[in-house]
């Protein structure tokens, strides 16, 4: 048993074999020297003539090389290579699942759609390499404001999104947005340059309205447009967005 095996998983394993059933699965285990490896395990109970379990036989195959390759492929498929955050594909899958969950259980969730203010100017004046470093720094700052259950993503360019599941109140989403605006505003030095950056945020609240992931993201985008049109460096909630707002006209 390693620190990577959750208590519930360990209990399920023993519950299965204690009832005389065979268990098979993958585990990340630890060797006697303290190093970790991936194991494909099969555990079978051995019974005596009366049907009482007397022993367990475990067969373990080291699948570390294949498992690491599989995880690398998954990282490439679902993560942004620049920032390490999830990518659009993974985010939209999780958002669609959350929309259905909110619809069934009345759970409250929110999406934050973020865009760096005047990022194009930074790329044009300081270069794309500097812009990439800035995006990585922003990603780290975003992570510092979130719970483990939150799902941050880089959709592309300087656009970031966050899925906030299991919210107690709608105010919780605004609190996160306030933290993000404040932390991005903190001055910092990057590649020898003193940088002052700001961010605009649009918020869409998911209450079980039966909306699709695309519709929720569109709402957040419209709120983001309003945040930019009314001064940037702030957040807006979708309900406050006039129906005439047109996100396609928003400037970076």
* Residue 232 backbone phi and psi in degrees, to 5: 65, 180
Contact yes or no for 222/113 (Cβ under 8 A): no
Which single residue is written with the structure tokens 């285990």? 29
Catalytic-residue membership of 158: yes
* Angstrom distance (rounded) from CA 118 to CA 107: 36
Select which of 80, 115, 117, 158 is catalytic: 158
Which single residue is written with the structure tokens 């004046």? 125
DSSP E strands, 48-147: 53-62, 109-116
* Angstrom distance (rounded) from CA 85 to CA 150: 12
Radius of gyration of the chain, Cα coordinates, nearest whole angstrom: 24
Strand order in the sheet with 199-206: 151-156, 159-164, 109-116, 199-206, 235-237
Residues annotated as catalytic are 158
């Amino acid at each position: 048993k390693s620190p990577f095996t959750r208590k519930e998983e360990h209990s399920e394993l023993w519950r299965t074999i204690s009832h005389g059933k065979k268990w098979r699965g993958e585990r990340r285990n630890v060797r006697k020297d303290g190093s970790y490896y991936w194991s494909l395990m099969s555990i079978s109970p051995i019974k005596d003539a009366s049907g009482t379990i007397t022993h367990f036989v475990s067969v373990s195959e080291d699948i570390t090389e294949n498992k690491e390759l599989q995880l690398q492929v998954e990282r490439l498929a679902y993560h942004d290579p620049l920032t390490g955050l999830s990518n659009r594909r993974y985010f939209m899958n999780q958002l669609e699942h959350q929309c259905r969950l909110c619809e069934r259980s009345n759970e409250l969730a929110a999406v934050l759609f973020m865009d760096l203010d005047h990022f194009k100017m930074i790329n044009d004046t300081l270069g794309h390499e500097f812009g990439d470093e800035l995006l990585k720094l922003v990603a780290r700052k975003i992570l510092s404001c979130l719970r483990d259950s939150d799902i941050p993503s880089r959709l592309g360019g300087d656009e970031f999104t966050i899925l906030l599941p299991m919210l107690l109140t709608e105010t919780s989403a605004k609190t996160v947005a306030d933290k993000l605006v404040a932390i991005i505003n903190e001055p910092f030095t990057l590649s020898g340059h003193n940088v002052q950056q700001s961010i605009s945020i649009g918020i869409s609240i998911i209450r079980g309205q039966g909306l699709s992931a695309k519709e929720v993201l569109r709402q957040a985008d419209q709120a983001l447009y309003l945040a930019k049109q009314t001064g940037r460096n702030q957040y807006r909630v979708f309900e406050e967005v006039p129906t005439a707002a047109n996100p396609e006209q928003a400037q970076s």
